[in-house]
Structure 1
Amino acid sequence: MTLLASFASAQIRPEQVYQPPPASSGAASQQSNLTNGVNPQYADLLGNALWFYDAQRSGALPDDNRVSWRNSSCENDGSLNNTDLSGGWYDAGDYVKATYPLCWTMTSIAWSALSFGSAYQRSSQDAYLDSTLRWGLDWLSKTHSDKDTLWVFVGNPTVDNQYWSGDQNIPDPRTSYSVTRQNPGTDAFASCAAAFAAATYLYSEGAASLPTSTNGAQLGGVSSIRNRTYSDALLRHADGLWDLAINSSPKQVYSMASPTAGQSYPSSDYESDLAFAGLWMTLAKGDASYANQGLAFYPQGNNAFASVNTALNWDRKTAALPVLATQIAQLNTSLGLSISRFQTDAEFYFDNLLNNKMADVSQTKGGLYWWKGDSDGASLNPALNAAFIADLYSGLATTSAKTTAYRSLADSQVDYFLGDNNYNGPFIVGQHPNSPQNPHSAMASGGSDITNINGSPPKELHVLYGAVVGGPDKNDRFFDLRDDYPQTEIALDYNAPLIAAAVSRIARNVTKDPPYTLSSGGANVASGRPTDAAYPARKHGLATGAQIAIAVVVLVVFFGAAGGIAWWQRERLRWWYRERKMGL
């Protein structure tokens, strides 16, 4: 049986085409004047963040493509496997397409729209939210065109990560990798089910705002994009993927079923994905049985969250579980979910974070929360995801003091990101004159010499507006080097919490300008040599070729010896893989 892929262009059109303004517009010398009650700086943040997804598009570009320097590309994806996997987005600074992290990105965007969606219509970005969601969801529909199969990766990791040039000569045809009912990827099935279920509810005619406070304020949902036909098509995929996740055997991470596909994004567990998907399925279908199935994989025992210290990202959703469960329990009391249980768990997590009681979690001198192992590869993402869920939960806290504390936690991380930092600028390309100038992006760089990424060309050819970079190091230093991918690479999932922060502030009527408007003088770009995975310590002057050879040998030996038990070392695997790419 083949599922009908649900393709539809955006149902609403923008009244006026949005194009990012010049970076100089972010250097406001005085408080911005509101437009229809919206601070234009936050409206531009949201507009630029959505424009970034247009810049990352793969496949045949539509007639209304807004990114003049982008071309149609990789239109034959999937052909080697007799399927159509064209479209979607390139995952990061190179040209692979990865389903597992994309599903978290789509879920996160839908979640923030359900919680703070009023911001989209107020800032005239609802049409772009619709087109962004549909571009991603339509491609995910292709990855699940057969009821027993999910395609999880497109591209040849070795070849694609050695290609550093524009979108016209990407090595083609490209290999695709799948997981199936017979060879499962439980985490990927569940994460994809969550994405479809969240979008199902957002597009449904009866969608209600997910609560973000106990006072009954309705800030979420986007009424202008509701479409029953599209919602029903998305639900069919959610149902099918949930069935694969909960019923296929053995339950295992997708990198066990497809090791090559899991090289770039190895997964740590499937339990948090099942619990997360069960909650979203309950919201989409109004049936608590899905939550009950999923919560079998939720941390068990009294005060189980007292010891939870994991970062929230595409890999692990544990920290998000009690926040989403609290929202659903308050929204629909007939489901029988224990709101007090989930409030207790959420507050254990946030209180431990605030009180420095989490193992392997600290703060930089500048105030950025730092998760050992996760922040080393992209420092802003874990902190901004923590800000996202703290923002969602703060108004649902059990005391006013906790509400204030969690709001301050969220605002501190977002403000750091937006310019209240040692770098003296926002970590968003094109937003301010002090924005990063050298994002690690093969498309935007304009270069074609992978051995000279920083110098060829000396200046980035295209401005990748709205792209969130990896972020500074643990000493709050940002080097702005194109080849320093932990700091300057861009990625689909990096932008999702930027969108959440922007829509939250618009929906909550925040009028004060973002911190970057106060940044005067030049950016405080660090000098010297970074110390991270892109710039490992060089001993005895080893040549580049020797380092590549050593890295390859280490990879071969490592994978040969460790086999299937090594997947949990997700960041190290990704770093070693990236080192080979960079030729260091």
Structure 2
Amino acid sequence: MVMVRADSGNYGDALTKSILFFEGQRSGKLPPSQRLTWRKDSALNDGSDAHVDMVGGYYDAGDNIKFHFPMAFSTTMLAWGVLEFGNSMGSDLEHALEAIRWGSDYFLKATRNPNNLIVAQVGEPYGDHDCWERPEDMDTPRNTYVLTPNKPGSELSAEIAAALAASSMAFSASDNQYSKWLLSHAIRVFDFANNNRGSYNASVGAACPFYCDYNGYMDELIWGAAWLYKATKMRKYWEFVRSNIGSIESQPVIRNIKGVAVLLNGGSFAEFGWDCKIAGINVLVSQWVMGDPSSASPFIPNADAFVCSVLPNSPTKSVSYSKGGLMFKPGSSNLQHVTSTSFLLIVYARYMQAAKKVVNCGSVTADPNTLINLAKSQVDYILGNNPLGMSYMVGYSNKFPQKIHHRASTMPSLDQHPQHITCRDGDQYFKSNAPNPNILIGALVGGPAEDDTFEDSRYNVGQSEPATYLNAPFVGLVAYFKSPQASSFVDFGFRDFTN
């Protein structure tokens, strides 16, 4: 196959832009340092219906709802990226920390009373999705949805606890007082999640079918405990992880595909994203059990199985690859799987390298180089080394998506059109064949189809919509490949991963 090589190797530029994207997703009162200046203040009364201040946070994708479940996961992943690769970020580290703080500050607000109330979501999704409005113009319902002991949401609360714990570690060197504050909140929020068990699917009806949790809440509880152990080294959190990990080992793979629960073949050890944390748990924990045979099981075997599930030549591969080399899992917005999986591969490769470890997948043996090069092939494909020569990061290289499914990007900014644009008046901008007037620099979109084609259309939501949980793992990925340490791995170049 003929490959068109775009500027896929400028990882420093990709890092800068992948962080800048988060400024385009900000809700609330924007700071003087705001660099995407076509975005303005929005949703300044959020939380007022529940008498709480919920101004701030991130819009998760191309709409104007603040879904806290994916927002918390994105914050966790931004923080993990800084913990692993912050030393390679250079001047972008400051902006990465700003992106984390925009999320962690918001979750401090959301958990102001963590013993009896946690805010789970802001915005009524059906009303929002029925309008094509700039966030600055929103006049759709901004309902505040909360969790209480009688209306629990263990998966959401535990993910917020993970986000706060990971963020506390990210700030430990630069703002120790803030770090301690985040950690104290993380502990209390985890207690709320664990002591008041139940799914937020039932407690926050407005979360489904958009961000239903289809894998149960135990993976988030273990994930939260693992992050708290990493942050505190308190034995009780490690005991929680060890005593509960068996309950999710044989969990069936259920994927949220366009709001429908779909049972898939394969093992849950290979799943990682805003809904399922199992592969992430095993890779995270592997860092401190890799040299301890008494604690290695089931974490190391399952982390190895995750690797074998994605290696192109593995006999137990459970993903597919396009002819152009892009990894695919069932469901829309495929790049969310590509970025989160590739992030885990890089992190696990680093842990393997430190332990001088390899992974055996039947007759196939994978060393750290193998994992690094597979992740690099995915990053390079995203940045333009693909059959179309298309960068799937907006604003990167000379060829990128022009008509992304994103309200603020699609419509003229307040600078250009200061008058209010109402719900239905926005339709003309959605239906327009013109490129979006505001470039959402750094946004990763859902990506191409499995035949490597791409429809640059606002109507094709699965391919053209950006989301925070696509970008958050990618920040760490491009920071790694920008670093001198990445060059120590052998680059075997592009591979044609034909199914």
Tell me which amino acid in the other structure corresponds to 2:445.
Answer: V
Quote the residue 1:166 is aligned against: 134
Structure 1 residue 254: deviation in Å? 0.8
Quote the residue 1:411 is aligned against: 376
Structure 1 residue 454: deviation in Å? 5.0
Quote the residue 1:308 is aligned against: 268
Q: Does 1:140 align with 2:110?
A: no
Question: SS in structure 2 opposite 1:73?
Answer: coil
Quote the residue 2:477 is aligned against: 501
Between 1:53-62 and 1:303-312, the stretch displaced more is 303-312
Q: Deviations over 1:75-113 (max 9, x none)?
A: 000101111111111111010001111111111111111
Quote the residue 1:327 is aligned against: 287
Question: SS in structure 2 opposite 1:324?
Answer: helix
Q: Distance in 1 between matches of 2:120 and 2:297?
A: 37
Quote the residue 1:438 is aligned against: 403
Structure 1 residue 433: deviation in Å? 1.2
Instruction: Describe how 1:359-374 pairs up with structure 2 within 5 A.
Output: 361-372=319-330
Q: Distance in 2 between matches of 1:461 and 1:296?
A: 53
Match of 1:179 among 142, 147, 155: 147
Tell me which amino acid in the other structure corresponds to 1:432.
Answer: S
Quote the residue 2:77 is aligned against: 108
- Contact (CA 8 Å) 2:147, 2:153: kept in 1 or not? yes
Taking a change above 3 Å as real, the CA distance of residues 404 and 453 of structure 1, as seen in their structure-2 partners, is same
Quote the residue 1:234 is aligned against: 182
TM-score by length of 1: 0.72
Question: SS in structure 2 opposite 1:396?
Answer: helix
Q: Which one has the largest radius of gyration?
A: 1
Taking a change above 3 Å as real, the CA distance of residues 441 and 254 of structure 1, as seen in their structure-2 partners, is same
Structure 1 unaligned regions, length at least 5? 1-25, 32-38, 205-222, 519-584
Q: Distance in 1 between matches of 2:250 and 2:206?
A: 38
State the Cα RMSD in Å: 2.8
Tell me which amino acid in the other structure corresponds to 2:136.
Answer: Q
Quote the residue 1:257 is aligned against: 203
Tell me which amino acid in the other structure corresponds to 1:497.
Answer: P
Between 1:455-464 and 1:311-320, the stretch displaced more is 455-464
Structure 1 residue 245: deviation in Å? 1.5
Quote the residue 1:130 is aligned against: 97
- Contact (CA 8 Å) 2:309, 2:318: kept in 1 or not? no
Taking a change above 3 Å as real, the CA distance of residues 429 and 170 of structure 1, as seen in their structure-2 partners, is same
Structure 1 residue 460: deviation in Å? 0.9
Quote the residue 2:308 is aligned against: 351
Quote the residue 1:287 is aligned against: 234
- Contact (CA 8 Å) 1:278, 1:295: kept in 2 or not? no
TM-score by length of 2: 0.84
Q: Distance in 2 between matches of 1:297 and 1:471?
A: 36
Q: Deviations over 1:508-535 (max 9, x none)?
A: 44469xx9xx9xxxxxxxxxxxxxxxxx
- Runs of 4+ with >6 A deviation: 301-306
Structure 1 residue 379: deviation in Å? 1.0
Taking a change above 3 Å as real, the CA distance of residues 192 and 428 of structure 1, as seen in their structure-2 partners, is same
Q: Distance in 2 between matches of 1:482 and 1:356?
A: 37
Structure 2 unaligned regions, length at least 5? 253-265, 360-365, 413-420, 495-499
Q: Percent identity among equivalent residues?
A: 30
Q: Does 1:244 align with 2:192?
A: yes
Taking a change above 3 Å as real, the CA distance of residues 261 and 302 of structure 1, as seen in their structure-2 partners, is closer
Quote the residue 2:393 is aligned against: 428
Quote the residue 1:575 is aligned against: none
- Contact (CA 8 Å) 1:190, 1:273: kept in 2 or not? yes
- Contact (CA 8 Å) 1:272, 1:297: kept in 2 or not? no
Between 1:290-299 and 1:56-65, the stretch displaced more is 290-299
Between 1:158-167 and 1:105-114, the stretch displaced more is 158-167
Structure 1 residue 278: deviation in Å? 1.0
Structure 1 residue 275: deviation in Å? 1.2
Q: Distance in 2 between matches of 1:358 and 1:271?
A: 26
Quote the residue 2:358 is aligned against: 399
Q: Deviations over 1:236-282 (max 9, x none)?
A: 2101111011111xx32211111113332001211111111111010
Q: Distance in 2 between matches of 1:194 and 1:506?
A: 27
Q: Distance in 1 between matches of 2:317 and 2:127?
A: 38
Q: Which structure has more RCO (C-alpha within 8 Å, separation ≥ 6)?
A: 2
Aligned pair count reads 449
Quote the residue 1:65 is aligned against: 34
Match of 1:468 among 433, 444, 450: 444
- Contact (CA 8 Å) 2:23, 2:35: kept in 1 or not? yes
